[in-house]
Structure formats: structure tokens, C-alpha cells
Structure 1
């Protein structure tokens, strides 16, 4: 399959230079045909060598009969950590009293099959949360960075919570890193169901070659999905976080991540347009600049 043939939101690429003759990429994302409503199917992944042609779909996760979540399977990320592969993903429930949150799954191989690792979501059970990602600090301490949704608090936030070394439990209370409205490029959104507010989506951590700690995250500008960048002034996950004044990408695309290709090129991948069922992954070359990133 060509990239343009794969309906996929929230793309995540795991490069594996040690696999195959010249290395292998694994492409993950929200792959249900309609992620917004109805019973969820699971997550698929795709395997390729050139970011253009893919084998798949490969069933990375299918819920067992006792799995707690029934809908809204969103934004899978697969991280290699201590010799295993861990999938961080958002899960929801048709009962609105059961809050959406990020659970961790695990597997022996990058394509799975993944099974539950944590006991349900590691985000607070009384919060509406989504888009957890893994960050390991300089001391080797794992953290989950995630969004506290605007639909619950109006001005969405990005938060971090420390994890146990085995990634099974949260340690302590979440720390708020910043609110969506702190970025000068972000505009309010309006919803008949949720009112007016400011969105935070899809955080992803990136260490630059200069040693800076950056965060990709998504929101809206001019009614269109957009990708922004923040920088930790201290290089620590706790910040304080400074917002790049203009979005990195604002052509109705977002929920991106950064990876280094097998040839060493730095890429941003995100989905665009932000319209189901037309969303597709694209790959944009990046350049690191002082305090941030820019597209090439």
C-alpha cells in the first residue's frame, strides 16, 4: 500500500535500523474507519522500508472480551523501553461516566500483538484525558506527558505524571506544564456540545542535538488544525515552557511526532487534512534551530 492509500490519524513512526537489510519502519496510528463513535476495532500497523510503500495492515491490538474500553481508540505510540515495546494509547467508553484516558500495553515485538500492561488508564480516573506519550529524563525516570481535555476544563492543558520504572503505575500527582491559551498562535474553538475553549492535543517530546527539550503539540488556528512547538527553558520536563510564537504547520494538519529516518534525515509526520475519512500521514523534513524547529 502507498501512504496516500492508508486512512490514518495521529501517525507514529518507529524506525528500526537493525531490522532487515537496510532497516525497517513501523507506522502506527488511529486506524478505525470512524474513531469518533461506535464500537472500536483496535489498532493496525504497517511495515516498510522507504516511507512510501507499506505492508499491512498488521493487527497490532485487538481487545479481549474483558477489556474495559469499547470506543475511541486513539493515537497509539510504540516506544522501545528496557528491551520491550510499549504502546501508549487513548481509550474511551460509551458510558460518559467512564472517563477517557491513556493506558499502556506491551509486546515482545514492535508490531505486537500488544496486551494490557498497566491496570487501566494511568491518567487520573476523574479527568477527561488523551494522547499520553513517554518521556525518559536524564536520570532515567519515565514520565507520561498527556493532555487534560478542554471538553472538561475549557482551557486544555498539557500535564506530566511520573511513572514507575516498570511503567505499570503512576507515581504521585500530575504536574500542569502549560495551558493551550498560553500559546499566542492558538485560537478558541466553538462547539454546540462543549461551548468555547482552547484545545491541547498530541504532545510529543524531542531532544535536539543542541541539548534542548522541545514539545510538539497541536491545537487550532483560524478554525484549522495546526502543529505548534514549545521549549523547556530548563531542559527539564517540569519547564517552564516557552511557546514558539507561530505554528510549525497550520495547513489543517497536526498530532505529529518527530523521527530520524534511516538515512539520518529529521522528519515530522502528521495527519492532514483533519477530516474523516480523508486524513493521511505526510512526512515533512525538519531543521533544528535555536529554541525550536522549522520545516525545510
Structure 2
């Protein structure tokens, strides 16, 4: 298989040096995996061009007494303590959460919220099967509507989960971090606020004057942390760029891949926002190195019926740049 033929969303690549194989994790799609159910599947390749048919490595319904069996979004796999840990977002529409409070303009959002958050699961193999560590709840506080949790390990060796707090509950979506237990099974302490989506001032710079803020909620999606050569901490994240008003007064705009930098090197920031790396309804990217040492970014485009796109990247101190699109690998489009 090749990337144009591979349905995927929120791609995450592990370059496994032991087998010299790239493992691309995404939500299970029964049309290609042949397995029904909410979960995670993985494609494998030795050259980023030709891929095996996917193998299912996690199914929510197979987990005993799991709190949710819908979602399966944004799977990531991280090596930690000699084992492999899957992070993926589940949700349960029959477990309601409070709706968003009125915003600063006094306009309430009456959008029903429900329980959503990232679980952690463990396996001895990159090919699973993965078993949820705590089937009773997500790792972030369960009263928060969150998604897209990722692993960050600070210089002291403390593991954290960094996640997006849904705009559905906050109106202006936020990025937050919370410490994890050594076995990554649960959160410790309270969440720490990192930044809000509207801190990226370019998000709304083209909204016509007079358009109410409440018609342009700000989204946070897809965090991934990366330590730069100069010691800064870089975070890839995605959002929607609001650049036009429709006839019905709502705001439109495409999904974009952007990033922020903590020059202090600390997860607490302060975080400086940078302009988008890739537009064109693209996002939820992550960085990885090829076996030859080239820094790469994979993301999905378009948002619906998505396919993987690959870019060669360059880091100059803490500034991330796109060098070129690898259409020879991802098929163009």
C-alpha cells in the first residue's frame, strides 16, 4: 500500500531502530483493517513509501469494564521503562458534562458536552495488543472535556500528559499539562495551564470587523512536544484559521498546522506562538527522524477522508521550517 491508498487521521510514526521499520498508528478503519470496532491500527514500512496492510493493536470493546468504547482518536505509542504505551482518546456521549459558561460577552454556548479524554494502555510490543491501565476513567481529570493527550518527559525524568482542553467546554480552547504516575496509569495533582488558542493572534486577524466573538470559537488540537538543539521546548499543535464570514454570520477557515516555543525549555513556558507551517486543511502533525537522520513531519490532509502527507523539516535553533514536501512518498494532492 502507499499513502494515497491509506485512510488515516491524526498520524503518529514510530521509527523503530530494532527492526528499521516505521510504524504509523491511526484510528482503526474496518474498511482496510478488516476488523470492526473502535481502536488503533498500525501500518508498517521500511522506506516511507510502501506500507503493509494495517494490523489492529487495540480494541476498546476488548478492555474489561472500560468507561467508553467510542472515539479511538489520535493514537500515539511511546517507549517508556522498557514497555510501549498507547495514548488514545475515547468518549461516551451518555455521560454528560457541564456546558460551557457564558463568555466575556455574556453569550452562553448551549452545546451538550460529554465525557471525553485520553487513556493509556501498555504492551510489550509495538504491535500490541495494548491493555488499558485504568479502565474506569481517562488520565486527565474526568470532569474536563479533553482530547489528544501526548507524552512529555521533563529533564528530571517526570512524565507528563499534555492535552487539549476542548473549546466546547472552554469556548477558547486551551493546552494543559498534568503530571503522570511513574507507570503512566493516572494523573497526579492538578492540571497546569500552558496557553489558549487565541494567544496565536493570527487565528482571527482576518475576521471582518463587527463579527461577534462567540461565532468564532478557538480550537486547540494535536499537541506534540519536541526538544530543540538550543534547549528550547517546541510544541506542534493544530487549530482552525478563521479568515472569512459566511452569509449566515458564522466564521469559516481551514485546519492548519502550527507550533509554539517555550524558550525557557520548561513545559510551563512562557509559550511564544509562531505562524502556521502548513495550511490547506492540514494538521495534527508530529515530528520524527528517518533512519538516515532527516527530520520529518507527518500530518493529515484533508480533514475529511484524510491521507498522510510528509515533509522534510529543518530546525534553526528553535525555529522550525518546512524544507520541502515529499510528494514522491505521499503521492501529491
For residue 184 of structure 1, what is the aligned residue in structure 2?
A: 201
Q: CA offset at residue 40 of structure 1?
A: 4.7
Asked if 1:117 corresponds to 2:115, the answer is no
1:233-292 deviations in whole A, cap 9, x for unaligned?
310111111111x111112100010000111110010000112x2x00111000002332
- Higher deviation after alignment, 91-100 or 197-206: 91-100
**1:40–1:73 CA contact under 8 A, matched in 2:** no
In the alignment, which of 47, 52, 57 is matched to residue 44 of structure 2?
47
Secondary structure of the 2:201 match is coil
Unaligned 5+ segments in structure 2 are 97-113, 208-213, 244-252, 324-333
Q: Taking structure 1 as the reference length, what is the TM-score of the superposition?
A: 0.91
| Aligned with 1:291 (options 314, 318, 328) | 318
Superposition deviation, residue 94 in structure 1: 2.8
What are the within-5 Å matches in structure 2 for residues 24-39 of structure 1?
24-32=21-29
Higher Cα radius of gyration = 2
Equivalents in 2 of 1:4, 1:101: separation in Å?
Answer: 30
The answer to whether the aligner puts 1:82 opposite 2:81 as a matched pair is: yes
The whole-number CA distance in structure 1 between the counterparts of 2:94 and 2:319 is 41
Residue 91 (structure 1) shift: 0.3
State the distance in 2 between where 1:66 and 1:5 align: 35
**Partners in 2 of 1:252 and 1:131 — Cα distance?**
18
Greater helix content: 2
- Cα distance change of structure 1 residues 60 and 187 upon mapping to structure 2, 3 Å threshold: farther
Supply the distance in 1 between the matched residues of 2:92 and 2:37 (Cα, whole angstroms).
10
Query: Is 1:235 aligned to residue 265 of structure 2?
Result: yes
Match for residue 102 of structure 1 among 95, 118, 129:
118
Task: Determine the C-alpha separation between the residues in 2 that align with 1:136 and 1:107.
Answer: 19
TM-score scaled to structure 2, two decimals?
Answer: 0.81
- Going from structure 1 to structure 2, the CA distance change for 1:33 and 1:9 (only over 3 Å counts) comes to farther
Aligned length: 282
Deviations 1:198-225 (A, max 9, x none): 0000000011122221000000113100
More strand by share: 1
Structure 1, unmatched stretches of 5+, are none
Provide the rounded CA distance (Å) in 2 between the counterparts of 1:123 and 1:225: 25
Which residue of structure 2 aligns with residue 247 of structure 1? Answer: 276
2:10 aligned counterpart, secondary structure: strand
- Aligned CA-pair RMSD: 1.9
